[in-house]
Amino acid sequence: MFLASIMWMKLVSYAHTNYDIRVLSKSTEKGAAYGNYVDPENMKDPTIKSLLYFMLAPTLCYQPTYPRTTCIRKGWVIRQLVKCLIFTGLMGFIIEQYINPIVKNSKHPLKGNFLNAIERVLKLSVPTLYVWLCMFYCFFHLWLNILSELLRFGDREFYKDWWNAKTVEEYWRMWNMPVHKWIIRHIYFPCIRKGLSRGVAILISFLVSAVFHEICVAVPCHIFKFWAFFGIMFQIPLVFLTRYLQDKFQNIMVGNMIFWFFFSIVGQPMCVLLYYHDVMNRQAQVLLLKEDRRPGRPEDPGGRLGLREDPEDLGRLRRAASLARCRVRSGVRRQQQRMVRLKLRNPCYAQVPPVEMKFELKDGLKTSYRYRFLFVPV
């Protein structure tokens, strides 16, 4: 989904920029006043070669020509690749050793004990910050520069010193320069040209950013809870708050401390907990299809379903699931084909291998069957 969003933004920029070029070409032909300021190099017709280069280049804003370097530094590329592998391994180590145990032993922050949620968030704040910094370094500093070197791409301003941001507004302007330039060119300036105020243009820009953040998280997780959307939209009052504090106290540390507090101590750990528990708790169905009939056995006390050949994973599944029987009518007798639907309270157990397992299920007729079950997420 991340790559699909990048391709969509690139195509929008390609179409939008070429439309502006055609408008400028017609204006210069009519003798417009600004025709003398148009660079002929940027008035070239689009070609397949320029489109393919733009699709591979580490930028989201299209233009017919880009600054290019003269050669590829192979030794430098190898060193950056080694660094990228090292920091990727470090991210995996932190996730497996620190983040996974914390989130697995936690409860939903909005449904459990409030003090327990605060304790989990504080425990997650340091490892999630380290993972985010490693991700930022690997992607923005290493990978984008490696790609630029291989393509001899000259414009390598992928970020600025966002860690020194005095306000939240400065952070969003400096931490992701490719996306910032795309929003400025294709969202903010078109809104200004349409006569909208600066505040409305900023609001629309944040709205578009929030939609993309939600899509990039919700689609891979198959769940729409809008946590990422609301998290981005919450930045708007923080922008005005940090700007007000900066103007009032004239102290660069006030806005910077507020930014780091909401960014690392509260924001990221809370999002990790919310999405983890929502994904793990989403409803799933397990279809149990009978394969053959076996001699009957006594029914379990209390009318509970009896499970035989119960491996460890199936035992965990049984403890986590609530069973509801449903009969399936077909061309055969109903005693010969049945379906049992399991609504899982924690469908993460449905993700453990093997996907197909066999066990014996007893019904009210005191007859034992052998079933195979298939996991069908909903």
Task: Enumerate residues 6+ apart whose C-beta is below 8 A from 195.
Answer: none
The span from the CA of 239 to the CA of 260, in Å, is: 13
Peptide bond into 353 cis (omega under 30): no
Q: What are the catalytic residues?
A: 213
Give the dihedral of Cα atoms 236, 239, 242, 246; nearest 10 deg: -150
- Please answer whether residues 376 and 284 qualify as being in contact, where contact means their C-beta atoms are separated by less than 8 angstroms: yes
Rounded CA gap, 178 and 205, in Å? 14
Provide the 3-class DSSP secondary structure of residue 373.
strand
Q: List, as one string, the DSSP characters of 89-112.
A: HHHHHHIIIIIHHHHHT---TTTS
| Residues ≥6 apart with Cβ < 8 Å to 284 | 343, 344, 347, 350, 375, 376, 377, 378
Burial status of residue 324 (CB atoms within 10 A of its CB: 0-12, 13-18, 19 or more): exposed
Annotate 35-89 with DSSP letters as a single string: GGG--GGGGPPP-HHHHHHHHHSS-SS--S---B-S---HHHHHHHHHHHHHHHH
In angstroms, the CA 378 to CA 356 distance is 18
Residue 334's DSSP bridge partners are none
User: Is residue 113 within 8 Å of residue 107, measured between CB atoms?
Assistant: yes
Estimate the share of the chain in helix, then strand, then coil, as percent rounded to the nearest 5. 60, 10, 25
